A and B are shown apart, each in its own frame.
Chain A
Amino acid sequence: MRFAQAITLVFALILLMQFFLEVPAIETAGGHLTSWNIVIAAFAMGLAAFNLIRIHLKRVQLKRGNWISSAILLIVLVVQTFVGLYFGDNSAQYKVFFDGIISPLGATMYAMLAFWIASAAFRAFKARTLDATILLCVGIIVMLGNAPIGEIIWSQFPALRSWLMTVPAMAAVRALYIGAAIGGIAVGVRVLLGIERGHLGGGE
C-alpha cells in the first residue's frame, strides 16, 4: 500500500511540476506518463469488452433472465468486431452496420425522450408553488426563445431567453464549476498526501 502511495505521489508531482517548471527531464517524463494514460484507457476498453462477454456468456449458458438479449448482444459484438477488424472501420461493410443499426438505435433512444418529456411535463409541470411557477415560466420562455415560432409570437422571446442563459443560469453554472474545482483540488491534495486511498482499491 505504501509503495503504491509513493508511486502516486511521485507521478502526481511530475505531472504537476511540468506546468510550473521548464525542466526538459520533467517535461519528457510528464509526456510519457500522459501517453501511458492513453494506453491504459485503450486497454480498459478491451477489459470492458472482455468483462461484458464474460457476464453475458454466463447468462446465456445458464439461460438466466433475459438471456435472448444477451445472446443478441454477443452475436452483434462478434460480428461487428470481425467486420471492423477484417474490412476496417471506414469500409462500406462497417458503414452498413453503423447506418443500419447503431445510428437509428441511438437516434431512437434519444428521440423517445421528447415523448416522455411531453407526457411528464403534462402530468407533473404544475404551478403548485412559487418555485414551481418560476421554473414553469422560465422553461416556457427558453423553449419559445429557442424555436423560431417564439419570435413570431413575441419578438422579445429570444432576447429574454438569452438574458436568462447569460445572467441567472450562468451565475449558477459558475458557482457549480468553482465549487467543483475547489473540491477537485481538495481531493487532489488528499491523494497527494496519502489521506485519500480509494483509487488504490481494497480497504473498508
Chain B
Amino acid sequence: MLEKIQKMDQRIIYLVLLIALSFPMFRPLGLPVSIGQTSQDLYDFIDQLDPGSVVVLSIDYSPGAAAQIHPQTIAITKHLLSKKIKIVYMGLVQYASQFTTDAIAKAGDYNPVYGQDYVDLGFKPGEEATVSAMSKDIHATFVTDSDGTAIAELPMMADIKTASDIDLVIAFDSGGTRHWYVGQMQALYGTPVGCALNSVNVTNTMPYYDAGQVIGLLNGLRGAAEYEALIGDPGEATINLDSISSGHLVIILFILFGNIAYFGLRNSNKRKEA
C-alpha cells in the first residue's frame, strides 16, 4: 500500500489538483480574508492622497503573472478613480498598454476622461535608464503616449514633468522593475514607491518595506483580494482566492502522504533487514 502511494502516477496528482483548483470557481467557498499590514499601508497611503494628486502605475508584468497581478491593477485603478486622483500608466514591459486598456474598461462607472483623468504612456525600453531619465524629465523620455499623441498636448501632463511632480509610483511587477524605482526615484528624489507583486517576489521586496523605501505592497492574488475587501468591491481575486486555499491544501496533503509513505517504507525495510 505504502509503495503504491509512493509510486503514484503523477497524472493522479494532476487530476486531484485540477479538481481542487477548479471546484471553488464553480462553487465559491467564501472563506474570510484578513487584511495584511502591507496591503493596509498601501491602501492608507492612497486613501490620504488629495483629489488631483498624481500616481504613476508602472504596468510591468507578463501575461503569465497576470492572474495574480492584473486584479491588483483593477482594484487600485478603481480606488484611484474613486478618489479623483490622476493616473499616469506606463510600462517597462511590452504588454503595458494591453493591460492598461483592460484595467480602465473593468474599473467601473467612473468614466475617466483620457488626457484629463488618466494617460497611457505605453511601453518604453531601456529598463533602469528609462526610470532614471523619466525622473529628470518625463516629457523628454516619453515624447508621445501609447497612441502616438504628443504628451505636451495632453492637458494632464502639463504639470507632470519630473519625479518631484509624482505623489506615488506603484510598480506592478513580476520581474525586477521595483528595484529600479526604489533606486532611481525613491532614493534620489524621495518619491514614494508602492509595489504590487506576484507572491514569489514578496520576500525580496520586504527589506525595502521594512526600511520605509516601499510604503506598502500587495502580495499576489491574496493581496488583490485584500485590496478588493479594503475598497469594498469584491471581484475576480476574491473568487479565485478560494482556489489558492484548496490548491495549497491539496499540495500540503500530497507532501504529508509522500512523507508518511517514505517513512513507513523505510521503517518496514529496516524491520525486514533486522
Any B CB within 8 A of the CB of A37: yes
Contacts of A14 in B (CB 8 A): none
Please state if B32 and A143 are interface contacts (CB–CB under 8 Å).
no
Q: How far is the CB of A58 from chain B (nearest CB, A)?
A: 26
User: Which residue of chain A is the closest to B61 with respect to CB atoms?
Assistant: A106
Please state if A144 and B64 are interface contacts (CB–CB under 8 Å).
no
Please state if A31 and B136 are interface contacts (CB–CB under 8 Å).
yes
For the A-B complex, the count of residue pairs with Cβ-Cβ distances under 8 Å equals 166
Return the contact of B126 from the options A37, A95, A110, A152 (Cβ within 8 A): A37
Q: Mark A128-169, 1 if CB is under 8 A from B, else 0.
A: 000000001001100110111111100000100010011001
Interface size class of A (residues with CB under 8 A): 35 or more
Please state if A146 and B248 are interface contacts (CB–CB under 8 Å).
yes
Contacts known (A127-B259, A146-B248); A165 close to B66, Cβ less than 8 A = no
Interface segment out of the listed A1-9, A118-126, A196-204: A118-126
Any A CB within 8 A of the CB of B257: yes
Any A CB within 8 A of the CB of B63: yes
Once the chains are docked, how many angstroms separate the CA of A109 from the CA of B132? Answer: 33
Interface SS of A by simple majority:
helix
Please state if B10 and A110 are interface contacts (CB–CB under 8 Å).
no
Q: Mark A88-106, 1 if CB is under 8 A from B, else 0.
A: 1110001100100011111
Contacts of A169 in B (CB 8 A): 203, 206
Q: How far is the CB of B39 from chain A (nearest CB, A)?
A: 12
Return the contact of B257 from the options A122, A139, A166 (Cβ within 8 A): A122
Once the chains are docked, how many angstroms separate the CA of A127 from the CA of B137? Answer: 55
Contacts of B122 in A (CB 8 A): 89
Q: Mark A27-51, 1 if CB is under 8 A from B, else 0.
A: 0000100110110011011000000
Once the chains are docked, how many angstroms separate the CA of A42 from the CA of B10? Answer: 44
Contacts of A144 in B (CB 8 A): 248, 252
Contacts known (A38-B125, A146-B219); A103 close to B66, Cβ less than 8 A = yes
Please state if A122 and B254 are interface contacts (CB–CB under 8 Å).
yes
Which residues of A160-184 have CB atoms within 8 Å of chain B's CB atoms? 162, 165-166, 169-170, 173-174, 176-177
Q: How far is the CB of A147 from chain B (nearest CB, A)?
A: 4
Return the contact of A147 from the options B97, B245, B257 (Cβ within 8 A): B245
Please state if B244 and A115 are interface contacts (CB–CB under 8 Å).
no
Any B CB within 8 A of the CB of A186: no
Please state if B13 and A119 are interface contacts (CB–CB under 8 Å).
yes
Contacts known (A88-B147, A170-B207); A31 close to B8, Cβ less than 8 A = no
Q: Mark B102-145, 1 if CB is under 8 A from A, else 0.
A: 00000000000000000010101111011011001100110000
Please state if B17 and A114 are interface contacts (CB–CB under 8 Å).
yes
Return the contact of B199 from the options A95, A121, A126, A146 (Cβ within 8 A): A146
Any A CB within 8 A of the CB of B33: yes
Return the contact of A107 from the options B21, B63, B249 (Cβ within 8 A): B63
The count of residues in chain B whose C-beta lies closer than 8 Å to any C-beta of chain A is: 69
Please state if B146 and A90 are interface contacts (CB–CB under 8 Å).
yes
Which residues of B39-74 have CB atoms within 8 Å of chain A's CB atoms? 62-67
Contacts known (A31-B133, A148-B32, A169-B206); A143 close to B252, Cβ less than 8 A = yes
Please state if B251 and A117 are interface contacts (CB–CB under 8 Å).
yes
Contacts known (A95-B98, A103-B66, A165-B206); A126 close to B244, Cβ less than 8 A = no
Once the chains are docked, how many angstroms separate the CA of A105 from the CA of B249? Answer: 26
Contacts known (A123-B258, A146-B219); A110 close to B31, Cβ less than 8 A = no
Once the chains are docked, how many angstroms separate the CA of A130 from the CA of B155? Answer: 62
Contacts known (A34-B132, A106-B64, A165-B206); A122 close to B258, Cβ less than 8 A = yes
Contacts of A148 in B (CB 8 A): 31-34, 222, 241-242, 244-245
Any A CB within 8 A of the CB of B230: no
Which residue numbers of A lie inside 8 Å of B, CB to CB? 19, 31, 34-35, 37-38, 41-42, 44-45, 88-90, 94-95, 98, 102-107, 109-111, 114-115, 117-119, 121-123, 125-127, 136, 139-140, 143-144, 146-152, 158, 162, 165-166, 169-170, 173-174, 176-177
- The 8 A-B residue pairs whose C-beta atoms are closest, nearest first, are A106-B63, A38-B126, A110-B64, A37-B129, A149-B245, A148-B31, A106-B64, A41-B125
Q: Enumerate 20 A-B pairs (CB-CB under 8 Å) in ascending A order.
A: A31-B137, A34-B133, A38-B124, A38-B125, A38-B129, A42-B126, A90-B101, A95-B98, A104-B63, A107-B67, A110-B65, A115-B14, A115-B18, A119-B14, A121-B255, A125-B258, A147-B249, A148-B32, A149-B249, A158-B34
